[in-house]
């Protein structure tokens, strides 16, 4: 993942200098869109590819704990900033999910493609777009959280600007496809990393909260190495801790294919 902001630098300086021939409202929206796209970049696009080992701990409403350990691989297609991506998630443990694989082809324009390989059944299950906001392997994260929402799926407004954060409100353009009415994002003004996201229902009640609880510099990139998702509707939370994080490791694109669902690329999973 890269903090390369070259695509937006000119627009950002232009807006901050107040040099504009467009109406004030249009300039304000350009600034908001710029913040959103930088945040998406910081969260999902640093480096041309990357890998990490993830220790996932799931705590239910009674504080009972389950765990998952997996490796996630990510590759930007055609090395394009903020374009299509592919994700490969391989589960190491526990035994009931070991060797399961979750594969995502993320499309900036159009619905993502998602598959789940279940080794016990030797079955490749396609996950429909209508199921993308359902539990990811029994956790409080959703399948969509692995690859992220595309910024163009929502309308964004700047609610507040503090010393350290931009606070944005985002409303889905197609409300029939999601369970939330809107969400708020707290985006760090220096790194553009989203450090907190709250999802609200139609009654303005926050029910689902994401937090980046640890951020570290890895290979020159600011990286979330610990995160948490809680959901008041079902209770409990899920914590993810990232280790063995590497960027720009030259992962071949053919690994992100059905062939490697049944035959894991061991050299990239260590």
- Local confidence band at 10 (pLDDT 50, 70, 90 cut-offs): very low
HEC readout, 108-120 = CCCCCEEEEEECC
Checking if the pLDDT of 201 tops 90, the result is yes
Query: d(Cα 5, Cα 21) in Å, to the nearest integer?
Result: 23
The dihedral sign for the CA sequence 140, 146, 152, 158: positive
Q: What is the DSSP letter of 39?
A: H
Q: Is residue 69 a contact partner of residue 91, using CB atoms and an 8 Å limit?
A: yes
State residue 8's pLDDT score. Answer: 27
State residue 20's pLDDT score. Answer: 36
Query: d(Cα 158, Cα 189) in Å, to the nearest integer?
Result: 13
Q: What is the pLDDT of residues 64-117, one digit of tens each?
A: 999 999 999 999 998 677 899 999 999 999 999 999 999 999 999 888 999 999
Least confident of 23-32, 80-89, 195-204, 240-249: 23-32
Checking if the pLDDT of 167 tops 50, the result is yes
Task: Compute the average pLDDT of residues 133-140.
Answer: 95
- Per DSSP, helices labelled H in the chain are 6-16, 24-44, 143-147, 259-262
State residue 14's pLDDT score. Answer: 29
Query: d(Cα 231, Cα 206) in Å, to the nearest integer?
Result: 9
Task: Compute the average pLDDT of residues 126-140.
Answer: 92
Query: How crowded is residue 61: how many other Cβ atoms within 10 Å of its Cβ?
Result: 11
Long-range contacts (CB closer than 8 Å, 24 or more residues apart) made by 251-256: 251/49, 251/51, 251/73, 251/74, 251/75, 253/75, 253/77, 253/86, 255/73, 255/88, 256/73, 256/75, 256/86, 256/87, 256/88, 256/103, 256/105
Query: d(Cα 267, Cα 19) in Å, to the nearest integer?
Result: 52
Domains of the chain, first to last: 30-268 (2.50.20.10)
């Amino acid at each position: 993942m890269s903090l390369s902001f070259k695509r937006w630098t000119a627009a950002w300086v232009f807006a901050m200098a107040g040099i504009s021939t467009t109406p004030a409202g249009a300039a304000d929206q350009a600034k908001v869109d710029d913040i959103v796209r930088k945040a998406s970049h910081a969260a999902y696009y640093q480096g041309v590819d990357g890998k990490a080992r993830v220790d996932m701990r799931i705590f239910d409403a009674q504080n009972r704990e389950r765990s998952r350990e997996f490796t996630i691989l990510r590759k930007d297609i055609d090395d394009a900033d903020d374009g299509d991506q592919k994700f490969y998630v391989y589960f190491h443990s526990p035994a009931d999910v070991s060797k399961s694989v979750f594969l995502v082809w993320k499309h900036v324009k159009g619905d993502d493609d998602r598959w789940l390989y279940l080794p016990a059944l030797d079955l490749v299950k396609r996950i429909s777009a209508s199921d993308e906001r359902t539990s990811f392997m029994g956790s409080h994260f959703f399948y969509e959280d692995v690859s992220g929402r595309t910024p163009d799926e929502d309308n964004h407004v700047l609610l507040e600007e503090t010393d350290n954060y931009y606070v944005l409100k985002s409303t889905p353009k197609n409300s029939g496809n999601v369970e939330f009415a809107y969400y708020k994002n707290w985006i760090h003004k220096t790194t553009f990393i989203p450090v907190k996201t709250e999802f609200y229902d139609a009654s303005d009640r926050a029910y689902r909260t994401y937090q980046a609880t640890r951020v570290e510099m890895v290979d020159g990139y600011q990286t979330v190495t610990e995160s948490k998702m809680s959901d008041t509707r079902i209770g409990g939370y899920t914590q993810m801790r990232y280790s063995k994080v590497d960027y720009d490791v030259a992962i071949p694109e053919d690994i992100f294919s059905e062939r490697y669902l049944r035959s894991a690329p061991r050299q990239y999973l260590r």
